[in-house]
Amino acid sequence: MTEASVSIGVAGALGPGAIADIATAAEAAGFHALWVNETPGTDAIAAIVAAAAVTDRLVLATGVVPVDRRPAAEIIAAVRDLPQERLVLGIGSGGARVGALALVGDAVQRLRASTTARVMVGALGPRMRRLAAETADGPLLSWLTPARAAEQADEARATQRGTRVSLYVRTALEPAAAARLGTETAQYAGFPAYAANLQRLGIAATDTTLDDARFETGLPAYRGAVDEVVLRAITPGGTAPEIIGFVGLAAARIAAR
């Protein structure tokens, strides 16, 4: 397998204008894609619409849009005018617990029937990962060590030849961002679904992130495990100027290897 591409991940809460500025920086720095997460009260698709207007090559991805509160028909209407060849629709089950597999599977079918964008599924457990490999273009993984990421990537490729595996890795490159990284890691480790998955895999959430000290060895290990590593930018304040600084620093660190 060739070395994985590297992308940038940000929060949709930054808003379209800020994300457009980050997209410009990410494209100039040579990153593969910009992934935008959607949480309640934010709009990842509006953000990538703004990013599309200021970029030419950068892949634009949602990671992820929860289909329990934003159905496939709404997503299809919102992305109709986006450059489909640069679009990745990452979707997830959101807060749905009962019927989550059926909900996501139906959304995948609708999106693939009405767009030519790639469709990825945010997946933790084995059943959702299998669905992602069998019916979509692949899984979007998160909170994994390189070894566990490699195992799940191999599993996905064995399920469906040609499956693409992307992985979110929370990354802080400045000492001043270490506290924020620790807070976010502890928060996710406390969510029941994530806690159960980490326990099932026998790993600690703190072993699935990258900081300044682990970046040099950790990023190559992740790039050898999956097809795309999404550096989820963690900065002291989470502001757009800080994230643009993160983009430049990450690019320089990768180029120096």
pLDDT digits (tens, 9 = 90+) for 56-87: 999 999 999 999 999 999 999 999 999 999 99
Q: Chain-wide mean pLDDT for the chain? A: 97
CA distance 64 to 142: 11
pLDDT of 92: 97
The CATH class of 5-255 is alpha beta
pLDDT at 204 over 90: yes
pLDDT tens digits for 139-155? 999 999 999 999 999 99
pLDDT of 159: 97
List the chain domain ranges.
Answer: 5-255
pTM value? 0.97
pLDDT tens digits for 85-100? 999 999 999 988 889 9
